[in-house]
């Protein structure tokens, strides 16, 4: 089984280290950047299974970057999870409208963080597994 890979986009070094360490402890590889402008190129180069996107980046909004990812044919299928310290009423809707599949508010809960990450990294149920379930159901009739 290939190791899952997550692109972390975070300008705060401590948060970056925390996210990296948590993911690494769960056998998930990381690629990291604190520069929003590098995200599209890095996503193309490393083809991550998931992107963790800080919404408050210095030079460009994480939501703007997410829109660019979702407008890109090659990248749009990669799930993006927003991370923000500014989760107020209405922000979740804005974040989802911006193209993010989910969001995590800072300070993060480690358990919640990993639950959300694992949700988007799970393998979809294989067709062969589904076929054998269907065959079994056919035989039960």
pTM comes to 0.85
Number of domains within the chain: 1
Residues 101-117, mean pLDDT to the nearest whole number:
95
CATH number at residue 81: 3.40.50.2300
Which residues have a Cβ under 8 Å from the Cβ of 20 and sit 6 or more positions away?
Answer: 8, 30, 32
Q: What percent of the chain has pLDDT over 70?
A: 85
pLDDT band of residue 12 (cuts 50, 70, 90) is very high
CA distances from 127 to 60, 68, 123, 132 (A): 41, 32, 12, 9
User: Which residue in 28, 90, 25, 61 sits closest to 69, CA to CA?
Assistant: 61
Instruction: List the domain range (segments joined by +) for residue 60.
Output: 5-139
pLDDT band of residue 128 (cuts 50, 70, 90) is very low
pLDDT band of residue 85 (cuts 50, 70, 90) is confident
The tens digit of pLDDT for each residue in 47-80 reads 999 999 999 999 999 999 999 999 999 999 999 9
């Amino acid at each position: 089984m290939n190791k899952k890979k997550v692109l972390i986009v975070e300008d705060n070094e401590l948060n970056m280290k925390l996210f990296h360490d948590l993911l690494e402890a769960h056998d998930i590889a990381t690629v990291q950047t604190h520069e929003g402008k590098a995200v599209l190129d890095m996503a193309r180069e490393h083809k991550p299974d998931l992107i963790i996107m800080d919404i408050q980046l210095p030079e460009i909004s994480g939501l703007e970057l997410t829109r660019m990812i979702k407008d890109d044919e090659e990248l749009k299928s990669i799930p993006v999870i927003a991370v923000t310290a500014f989760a107020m009423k209405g922000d979740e809707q804005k974040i989802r409208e911006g193209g993010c599949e989910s969001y995590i508010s800072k300070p993060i809960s480690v358990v919640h963080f990993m639950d959300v990450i694992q949700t988007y990294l799970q393998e979809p149920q294989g067709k062969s597994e589904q076929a054998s379930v269907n065959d079994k159901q056919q035989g039960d009739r």
